[in-house]
Amino acid sequence: MVSSKRQPTDPPSAGGQTFLVVGKVRRPHGVHGEVVAEFYDKFPECLNPKKTIYVGENHVKLIISIQRIHNEGLLLGFEGINTPEEVGCYRNQHIYIAASEGIELSESESYYRELLDLKVVDETGKTLGSITEIIETGANDVYVVTDSSGHELLLPVIPEVIQKIDLEKKIIKVRLIPGLV
């Protein structure tokens, strides 16, 4: 079962550091340089005040000054940014943390980056495709499985459907339940 909602790692930067995507800046909020942010993880300590994050493909280093829950996600403020114009340049960009600061997961948990591109097979061993996306729906995640012809299959991440995730073999075994998938 997937508990962590972290997205794939970004390639190492020029400094050789690897990053984990933990969220996305959506839009400026208010007049004090805060943003509405989408958060991909169950572990909010990744975005606590005084935490260093990196935003965008260039991994711009920012330090969180304010974090609070908002009905659209999280509101974040950053040290040295005080206006919506200053923070607006980060709109729709991913929020990263250093991979070395990632949270240790239990055996039954996986990072998104570990699941993307895994081969998905049914109970008979027939290949259905590979995971190309993971959608958060609120009740449970949904794996988007795309076959070689581009056809997509949506699989709810529930115990009745997801039978086994084998990260070593890079295979997910599923049971297709008529009417559910």
Tell me the domains of the chain and their CATH numbers.
Answer: 9-101 (2.40.30.60), 116-174 (2.30.30.240)
Give me the pLDDT at residue 103, please. 61
Q: What is the pLDDT of residue 11?
A: 45
Read off the pTM.
Answer: 0.57
How would you write the pLDDT of the chain (181 residues) with one tens digit per residue?
343 344 444 444 445 677 877 888 999 999 999 999 987 755 556 778 999 999 998 999 999 999 998 887 789 999 999 999 999 999 999 888 887 776 665 555 666 667 878 999 999 999 999 998 888 777 788 999 999 999 999 999 999 999 999 888 999 999 998 876 6
User: Which pLDDT value is given to residue 16?
Assistant: 62
* Cα gap 55→19, rounded to integer Å: 10
CB under 8 A, 24+ apart: contacts of 50-57: 51/97, 52/97, 52/98, 53/22, 53/95, 53/96, 53/97, 54/19, 54/95, 54/96, 54/97, 54/98, 55/25, 55/90, 55/93, 55/94, 55/95, 55/96, 56/90, 56/93, 56/94, 57/10, 57/93, 57/94
CB 141 within 8 A of CB 41: no
